[in-house]
Amino acid sequence: MLITLPVLAVTAAGALMYLDYPLRTFVWPGLAPDAAFVLTRLALLSAAGVLAVLPSLAPALGEIGRTQRLFQAVYLPVWYLALNGLTAPAPVVIGVAVVFACLAFAAHSLRHARR
């Protein structure tokens, strides 16, 4: 059962009047994503993943190997594979970036805990 109360409204002339129905200022029918919407979001996720993998890979390999040589040895094959079209889905790339960042943090923390 819907109960409506009179609403006090201001007219264009500035006068006050009562309305028997509530005012509607915004109606949102919900989210209806189409294919373009989903593909755009997947492209943004892929770009974020690619941008996050290498910066998280560098400190992880630097902490583990204590030199820059390990990162240089891994970086070249990664670019070779990427330029030849061997890529992973966006969630996998983002997950790998998070794993590398956690690995770098853990290796750094363990190294400084031993001192």
Q: Positive or negative, the Cα torsion across 73, 77, 79, 80?
A: positive
The overall average pLDDT reported for the chain is 77
pLDDT at residue 27 greater than cutoff 60: yes
pLDDT at residue 1 greater than cutoff 60: no
d(CA 20, CA 48): 51
Q: What is the mean pLDDT of residues 48-55?
A: 79
d(CA 92, CA 105): 20
CB 10 within 8 A of CB 18: no
Which has more pLDDT, 109 or 52? 109
Residue 81 is predicted with a pLDDT of: 81
In the numeric block, the tokens 């919407």 are attached to 37
Tens of pLDDT, residue by residue over 3-12, are 545 555 566 5
Tens of pLDDT, residue by residue over 104-115, are 888 888 888 877
Q: What is the mean pLDDT of residues 87-110?
A: 82
Residue 88 is predicted with a pLDDT of: 76
